[in-house]
Amino acid sequence: MITVAFLLVLLIVTAVTTVVGGGPTGPVGALALVSGVFILFFCAGIYVAAALGVLGLLAGFALSDRPLYLFIGEVIWIPSVNFVLVAVPLFLLMGELLLRAGLSERLYRALNLWFGKLPGGLLHTNIVSCAIFSAIAGSSVATAATIGSVALPYFERTRYSPRMVLGSLAAGGALGNLIPPGITFIVYGLITETSVGKLYIAAFIPGFVMAGLFMLVILVYALWFGTPVVEERVSWSARFRSLWDLMPTAVLILVVLGTIYAGVATPTEAAALGVLGSLIFAAFARKLTLDVVHASARSTARTTSLIGLIILAGFVLNYVLSSLRLPQALAGMVKELALPAWGIMLIIIGFYLALGTFMEGFSMIITTLPVVFPVVLALGYDPIWFGVIITMLIEIAMISPPDGTVMYVLQGMRIRPGPITDVFVGVTPFVLVYIAGVILMMVFPDIVLWLPRVLR
């Protein structure tokens, strides 16, 4: 529904602006044609990679008299061996290992001693443990699955509303990619030639602002409706003893994020160290078996391949489009529009929100960035800032009903069964706050840009 409404708005805006600013020119017509065919492919359920690649080939045949397809080999070899992209399988591997090594159990128990007393109790623990786990894992699904598997049994004996429990876990999971290190930033950095390290620095404050806003939602909810209070007294010595349980996590964060922020290691190197750290941690936890490593390796390879194929096909399309100079033409046209920059940015944000209700995050950025990014630059926005915004939009996609993997992972973990609509209802306030967060970063871009500027 959102999609249809949004497309209508977009159509009207385009119609009005073309009337105001003169008729469409050659390259724009071509771009409209390309987009039209693309939408057709999508509706037909073509594999995202095949849709991108074949569209690139077709556009090359139809719109250029040069044999562009002869260069595909080089075009796909270059991203295949990109050192920055190597970080993707390594972060995936790290997440897979941690998921199987049981790190989250101790993390959750320890944090609960600290946050259990606040109004909203365990719900805060959900958000905080997800946020902390996000600082070592680069994926939202891994974060939600890892913390969810530990948290849900805790709620078994309590009277917390299952909607709120599931909603807070989904929201916490959706911090997975935003709080560095995240895989989305690597892919964004690759496509837009932006420094991944800088993106990680920029996402630091927004990540914790979002976690804070989520806790605020819980606080308001708890004060309004009331939540069960933990009766037992927790002594301060127990609290400080619990810090020991946070050690492995703290060490991993230091190894991965610390080395990136200190400028000692590139994201790829930090990811490799993270894998090493996870292996050592799993060994200490007596979980390091051949089976665990094998299952993690296998799953990593599969996910890397499916992301890789989309990236390679995306590069083919990107190559053809830029040979035809289409994105540049579009960027030029948008600049001439009678709309203010923030108006166009709002349209772009609306476009991603609509897309996110039915499309998966990676495909979303790889398909759209080659065209959207030049426009964003032409409007004068900072590429680092936009990287953070687009990652937030992808995270919103992960938890916006009806189509978000994170929500289905949590639904599958429920101990007492219930309808999926519980998750939908529970996550809604958090989705709205997430969108408010995007607007907040738009109005105050310094939340994103301050830290990279200071650390330069």
Partner 1 sequence: MRRRLLTLLERLRAANELVGRVMNDAAGWLFVVCALFVSFDVLARKFLGVSSQATVELTGYMLAFGIAWGLCDALTTRAHIRVDVIVNKLPLALKVWAHALALSFLAVLAFFFVWRAWAVALESWEFNAHDSSALRVPLVVPQALWALGITAFFVLTVLMLVEVVILLSLGRRVQVERMLGPRTLQEEADEALEAAGVSRGAGS
Residues in region 279-308 near partner 1 by CB under 8 A: 287, 292-306, 308
Q: Which residue, 145 or 202, has its beta carbon nearer to partner 1?
A: 145
Nearest to 187 by CA among 296, 38, 273, 79: 79
The amino acid present at 91, given as its one-letter code, is F
Cα gap 315→326, rounded to integer Å: 15
| Residues contacting partner 1: total by CB under 8 A | 86
Q: Which residue, 328 or 357, has its beta carbon nearer to partner 1?
A: 357
The span of 20-28, 115-123, 221-229, 264-272 binding partner 1 (CB under 8 A) equals 264-272
How many CA atoms, within 13 angstroms, populate the side-chain half-sphere of residue 200?
Answer: 28
- Helix 383-399 and helix 162-173: axis angle, to 10°? 150
- Least CB distance to partner 1 at residue 221 (A): 26
- Least CB distance to partner 1 at residue 131 (A): 19
Cα gap 198→169, rounded to integer Å: 28
CA separation, residue 120 to residues 112, 238, 448 (Å): 12, 21, 29
Site for partner 1 in 151-170 (CB under 8 A): none
* Structure tokens that stand for 343 in this block: 């108006």
- Backbone φ and ψ for 179, nearest 5 degrees, come out as -75, 125
Q: Which residue, 81 or 338, has its beta carbon nearer to partner 1?
A: 81
DSSP code, position 340: -
- Least CB distance to partner 1 at residue 349 (A): 21
Q: Which residue, 182 or 274, has its beta carbon nearer to partner 1?
A: 274
* Structure tokens that stand for 285 in this block: 């936890």
Cα gap 113→123, rounded to integer Å: 13
Q: Which residue, 55 or 201, has its beta carbon nearer to partner 1?
A: 55
- Least CB distance to partner 1 at residue 18 (A): 28
- Least CB distance to partner 1 at residue 166 (A): 13
Site for partner 1 in 13-72 (CB under 8 A): 41-51, 53-54, 57, 69-72
Q: Does 145 bind partner 1 (CB under 8 A)?
A: yes
- Least CB distance to partner 1 at residue 412 (A): 4
- Least CB distance to partner 1 at residue 337 (A): 29
* Residue 388 and residue 208 in contact, taking contact as beta carbons nearer than 8 Å: no
Q: Does 99 bind partner 1 (CB under 8 A)?
A: yes
* Residue 243 and residue 110 in contact, taking contact as beta carbons nearer than 8 Å: yes
Site for partner 1 in 65-94 (CB under 8 A): 69-74, 76-77, 80-83, 85-86, 89-90, 93
Site for partner 1 in 391-420 (CB under 8 A): 403, 405, 408-409, 411-413
Q: Does 175 bind partner 1 (CB under 8 A)?
A: no
Q: Which residue, 96 or 422, has its beta carbon nearer to partner 1?
A: 96
Q: Does 423 bind partner 1 (CB under 8 A)?
A: no
- Least CB distance to partner 1 at residue 279 (A): 8
* Residue 128 and residue 218 in contact, taking contact as beta carbons nearer than 8 Å: no
Nearest to 202 by CA among 392, 70, 368: 392
Cα gap 406→229, rounded to integer Å: 28
> How would you class 8 by CB atoms within 10 Å of its CB: exposed for 0-12, middle for 13-18, buried for 19 or more?
exposed
- Backbone φ and ψ for 452, nearest 5 degrees, come out as -60, -30
The span of 181-189, 217-225, 324-332, 358-366 binding partner 1 (CB under 8 A) equals 358-366
Cα gap 237→208, rounded to integer Å: 27
Q: Which residue, 23 or 45, has its beta carbon nearer to partner 1?
A: 45
Ramachandran category for residue 214: left, alpha or beta (phi over 0 → left; psi -120 to 50 → alpha)? alpha
The amino acid present at 171, given as its one-letter code, is A
- Least CB distance to partner 1 at residue 145 (A): 4
* Residue 378 and residue 371 in contact, taking contact as beta carbons nearer than 8 Å: no
Q: Does 365 bind partner 1 (CB under 8 A)?
A: no
- Least CB distance to partner 1 at residue 144 (A): 8
- Least CB distance to partner 1 at residue 57 (A): 6
Q: How many residues does the chain have?
A: 456
Q: Which residue, 90 or 384, has its beta carbon nearer to partner 1?
A: 90
The one among 269, 339, 341, 445 contacting partner 1 by CB under 8 A: 269
Site for partner 1 in 206-235 (CB under 8 A): none
